[in-house]
Amino acid sequence: MSLETKQNSIFKVIGASSLGTLIEWYDFYIFGSLATIIGAQLFPADAGASALINTLAIFAAGFIVRPFGALVFGRLGDLIGRKYTFLLTLVLMGGSTFLIGLIPSYASIGYAAPILVLILRLVQGLALGGEYGGAATYVAEHAPPGKRGFFTSWIQTTATLGLFLSLGIIVLAKNIIGAEAFADWGWRIPFLLSILLVGVSIYIRLKMHESPMFTKLKTEGKVSKNPLKESFNKKANFKMVLLALFGATMGQGVIWYTGQFYAQSFIENTCKIDFNDSRYILLWGIAFATPFFVVFGAWSDKVGRKWIMLTGMLLGIIFYRPIYQLFLDKSDIATLNTSKTVKVAEPIITHHPLHANGDSLINISTAYTLADGTSFNKVLVDTVYADPNKAVGHAKEVYKDKKLNTSTFWIFVGLVFFQILLVTMVYGPIAAFLVELFPTKIRYTSMSLPYHVGNGVFGGLVPFIATLIASFAGSTPLSGLWYPIGIAALSFIIGAVYLSNKPDQNVND
């Protein structure tokens, strides 16, 4: 073990790297966790479902630019070092997140609001594109041979723990200040709070040492002069980049974002489950499943990375539609209403102006509780026109804000847990897998691009594309699942045929 590594023990390396990466994921995912509320703030009151779709599009924009961040910061990481590059990405991420919390709403500045948020979201995506590759490379280059999967799997937990942290702070803030205040201004609290977390992480990262492998390269004068050219102009290396993308990270990405983000969106927006319940379901699922990142990472050191990752993809392909059908069945009022319905509140009538011409919306909401403990709001939504000749057939009955009874709640937790378990299978070993594909002098650049295209673009677009597909005329609530299922199936086939299952222990070259 080198003197550098002795000074900077592996567990300190993991702790310092993981904390910063966790905070960056937290910053990146707050937006997705609050998509419904943010959509109401960024777009007109009469935007309806398009507000959510447009907000998910802004959310997806951050994923689309991640590969560009991987190229920019990957090149910097291979030229000047791992430490200072992912210190820079942390500053960019933290600053952008804080500023999103300060952007005025649509009511104050019109469409400038979503445009400004989009710009900051793009900066977030660029920053995250440089963060993950640096952190995974840094930890892997400190890890002893034969334990690379185990040690890098701790970095893999940070994405899910960042989501867990974002959900926890959101639920806590909402419960403290109340639902109405949270929807009005309290949603900004998680964004503004991140600046404190970023400050702590910057302080810790400033005390970190450079990777011993990169230090050795620099001392010997072997640092790459053009990491981009060496990564993508050399046929053998570019072949590995493409294989990593289409045989691993593409499938891993759609499994990740289906199991965590699309699951939350589906439960809240399609099943109409109560805001808090939908978050608690995900929080419990994450809490139970997170240790398996380390389990599968360590196991991959013994049996190889390939088949653990591909098995996670295959199980998603087989079980996604039955899982989401069960979500629908268990949240359906007709199914739940097996005993007497008890009316517990008088109707609440709210009036929302729509247009200057006098058209408006009237919501008549009545709260109900079933004998088994399930509760929900029955809302009659009616469009009232200024011209009475147009007011025909626009009433719609909606069941929303369903609070599940205890047994159904835990069934939902189990279904989410299983999906996140699949995430741990595909994601736990993948950092070690990517590190072992590429040589040290171009590793940051080479591994970052396929990871962020596969995870960020193919995976990050799952909530947007799946929601969009499900909104098409003639589609069903499950139609959106064909996107992640199709991508995972393609990646499974390519990976099964072309990936090697033998870890490359010689990563010092």
What is the reported pLDDT for 3?
A: 43
Q: Is residue 100 part of a domain?
A: yes
Q: What confidence tens digit (pLDDT) does each residue in 228-250 have?
A: 676 677 787 888 889 999 999 99
Instruction: Say if residue 350 is in the same domain as residue 494.
Output: no
CA–CA dist 470, 460 (Å, integer): 17
* 237-244: long-range contacts, CB 8 A cutoff, minimum separation 24: 237/438, 237/442, 237/446, 240/437, 240/438, 240/446, 241/446, 241/449, 241/450, 242/450, 243/437, 243/494, 243/498, 243/499, 244/433, 244/434, 244/437, 244/447, 244/450, 244/451, 244/454
Q: Is residue 505 part of a domain?
A: no
Q: Is residue 150 part of a domain?
A: yes
Q: Is residue 213 part of a domain?
A: yes
**In which element (H, E) is residue 376 found?**
strand 375-384
CA–CA dist 197, 169 (Å, integer): 12
- pLDDT < 50 positions in the chain: 1-7
Instruction: Say if residue 374 is in the same domain as residue 327.
Output: no
Instruction: Say if residue 66 is in the same domain as residue 93.
Output: yes
Beta-ladder partners of 370: 341
Q: Of 371, 400, 429, which residue sits at a domain end? A: 400
Instruction: Say if residue 303 is in the same domain as residue 259.
Output: yes
Instruction: Say if residue 315 is in the same domain as residue 350.
Output: no
* Cβ-based burial of 176 (10 A; exposed 0-12, middle 13-18, buried ≥19): exposed
Instruction: Say if residue 128 is in the same domain as residue 197.
Output: yes
What is the reported pLDDT for 487?
A: 96
pTM over 0.85: no
**In which element (H, E) is residue 300 found?**
helix 291-303
Q: Is residue 96 part of a domain?
A: yes
Q: Of 400, 416, 444, which residue sits at a domain end? A: 400
Instruction: Say if residue 452 is in the same domain as residue 386.
Output: no
The strand pair at 360-370 and 396-403 is best described as unpaired
362: containing domain: 341-400
Q: How far is CA 314 from CA 34, 253, 476, in A?
A: 30, 13, 23
CA–CA dist 476, 324 (Å, integer): 12
Phi and psi torsions of 128, nearest 5°: -65, -30
Instruction: Say if residue 17 is in the same domain as residue 108.
Output: yes
Q: Is residue 231 part of a domain?
A: yes
Is residue 471 within 8 A of residue 56, CB to CB? The reply is no
Instruction: Say if residue 345 is in the same domain as residue 319.
Output: no
Q: Is residue 506 part of a domain?
A: no
Q: Number of folded domains in the chain?
A: 2
- What CATH number should be reported for the domain holding residue 180? 1.20.1250.20
Tokens of 389: 């000749």
Q: Is residue 139 part of a domain?
A: yes
CA–CA dist 424, 291 (Å, integer): 9
Instruction: Say if residue 319 is in the same domain as residue 383.
Output: no
Instruction: Say if residue 274 is in the same domain as residue 345.
Output: no
Q: Of 383, 400, 417, which residue sits at a domain end? A: 400
Instruction: Say if residue 322 is in the same domain as residue 349.
Output: no
Nearest 5 degrees, angle CA 236-CA 445-CA 224? 80
Q: Which of 406, 414, 165 is CA-nearest to residue 288? A: 414
